[in-house]
Amino acid sequence: MDTIGVLTSGGDAPGMNAAIRAVAKVASARNVRVLGIERGYDGLIDGRFRQLTRAVSWGMAPIGALQSEGNKGGTMLGTARSSRFLAPEGRQEASNRLQSLGVRGLIVIGGNGSVAGAHHMAIESPIPIVAIPASIDNDIGCTSDAIGVDTALNTIVEACDRISDTAQSLKRAFVVEVMGRQSGYLAMSAAVASAADAVLIPEHQSTEEEIVDSIAELIHRNLATERAKRLVLIIKAEGVSIPTDRLVSEIEARLLDTNIDVRGVVLGHIVRGGAPSFHDRMLAGRLGLVAVEAIMNGITDHMTAWRTTVSGGRLTSDPMVELFPITDVLNETEALLDGSSEITKRRIRRMEDIQGVLAL
């Protein structure tokens, strides 16, 4: 009987469990056994495996716990960053573990670092390896969406709605920090959805002085003039150069004579938690199906991609999902993050176009 492995690695994202469940269900339908690998690449090196399928009279079926676990956030397999896996010796040990159990292929669910790890192991190991993108930052190349992004955005928008309620009652300005070390996608999307007055993203590469000047002026114009506005909401990505607490202090110093109250809120890991949305469960299911099919067809060193705008992908049984060589994914990811990608350039132009609209 064929056996495949699945692991989650790097930062957790809502929908990872749904992807694990999808892999187990699709594989079971093909009478393929699935081994879950706990604690990411570290667990793979250490041989921390658990059965995700079981033998039944008609073949294979997912274990019962997967049905409910698939609806939860986080990852039932756990995740960890592995320094040992960075070395060729660590990857060889991981490959040996899989081969000793007769594992035919490995599916890796995770973000940029996890996908890069899958690539290095794929070119060094005879075992087919396919990656599924899962990262709330939506900073993975070749795919328009990654598992976890939609849930994270819903969480941010809900938090901003709650903050807006209290801010309007007391006439305040709030700077809300969301995740996004190198990518401002979450901040940009949430700013539009929550009708924020401004958004700060790392892609703009503004200086601290420029940021403080523009935000202080925006708040003063909206709360200390004849406007009847009672709330100013600024969404800030964590990767912006000035820390949120210092930004708030600097703004308050500029507005000392106005009695305007400015507060900072760091949402942090709240953004990563919670049950996955419909979209993330659907995405997990469809990417999981294609990943299993790819493994069974002997495809390796590829990543599943959703509604891509990049050429060069391999068509699959799902018209919305393509498979891209991971080298292409990593190259496009680097371009996304350094600003040379046309996608990043379009995002920045779009934000520049709507900045004036946000402040109305």
Catalytic site positions: 137
- Smallest CA-to-CA distance from 287 within 1, 11, 6, 2 is with 6
Tokens of 110: 């995770």
Query: Could you give the count of Cα atoms lying within 13 Å of 253 in the half-sphere of its Cβ?
Result: 9
Question: Please, which residues bridge with residue 305 across strands?
Answer: 322
List Cα–Cα distances, 356 to 129, 233, 302, 334, in angstroms.
46, 14, 41, 30
Alpha-carbon distance of 99 to 90, in angstroms, equals 14
Query: Could you give the count of Cα atoms lying within 13 Å of 116 in the half-sphere of its Cβ?
Result: 15
Angle (deg, nearest 10), helices 278-296 and 149-170: 160
With contact defined as beta carbons under 8 Å apart, do 76 and 44 qualify?
no
- The Cβ of residue 352 has, within 10 Å, a number of other Cβ atoms equal to 10
Tokens of 189: 């999307």
Interacting residues of 158 by C-beta distance below 8 A, sequence separation 6+: none
- Smallest CA-to-CA distance from 103 within 24, 34, 30, 27 is with 34
